[in-house]
Amino acid sequence: MRNLRYITAFLSLSGVLFACVVLHAGNERPAGFTTRSIQVATIQSDDEISVPAEFRVALYEHLVHQLEKQGFEHVYRDGDRNSTNAPNLVVLQSTVRRFKPGSERARQVTTVAGETSVTVHCQFTDQAGHTLLEQDVNGKVRFFGGNLRATYDFAKKASRIANQKFITDGK
């Protein structure tokens, strides 16, 4: 009789714990939200940060290329009229939060100095504008390569995050 009480208590406790875990997992990302269509908006920057035009363009172009590589079937560019009919479209809005231009010469001569780094706030929203995911992503070049390589590093990381959240995890 006492054993039966213990078993009942254990089972009910386990049930509560399981429910908590399921609910918590549900809060992390929209349940079952998968998509293979994404639109990349133009790269913005905070008012006090000035980002050279070539960096803005390189961020945008690398982002488009890397998202295509990561398995998104349709990667729409900013202003693309074809995106209006795309189902489950996710829009990626990127804002540069921090930018350190660095110096390729300093990197090559000293090895330790001259790092180029860029921190971009990535916001993934649905078509209605509801935020699905927000994250700061960093891109940097420490040793080899030109300053623009930091934009490639950022794009690789951001596209990997997008893949994980909207393609891999959704399956």
Partner 1 sequence: MKSKNLLRIVPLFFAVVPSSEICAQQSSQPVKAVQIIGLPAVKENEKGTLAVENGNLHFVHGRGTSDISTSSIQEVVTGADSQKAVGKTVGTISMAAPYGGGRFLSLFRKKIDTLTVEYRDTDGALHGVIFTLPPGSAETMRQELIAHGAHATVVIEHTAQASGSLRKEKNQ
Q: Which is nearer to partner 1, 72 or 99 (CB)?
A: 99
With residue 98 as reference, give the H or E element that holds it.
strand 90-100
Q: With binding defined as CB under 8 A, does residue 113 bind partner 1?
A: no
Rounded to whole angstroms, how far apart are CA atoms 103 and 90?
A: 35
Maximum Cα–Cα distance across the chain: 79
Q: With binding defined as CB under 8 A, does residue 52 bind partner 1?
A: yes
List the interface residues with partner 1, window 53-92 (CB under 8 A): 53-54, 56-58, 60-62, 76-82
Q: Give the total of residues touching partner 1 (CB under 8 A).
A: 30
Cα dist from 134 to 23, 54, 101, 104, 164, whole Å: 20, 25, 25, 31, 14
Sign of the CA dihedral 152, 158, 161, 167? negative
Interface with partner 1 by CB under 8 A: which range of 95-103, 121-129, 130-138, 158-166?
95-103
Rounded to whole angstroms, how far apart are CA atoms 136 and 158?
A: 9
Interface with partner 1 by CB under 8 A: which range of 18-26, 85-93, 105-113, 127-135?
105-113
Residues that bind partner 1 (CB under 8 A): 42, 50-54, 56-58, 60-62, 76-82, 99-101, 103-105, 108-109, 146-148
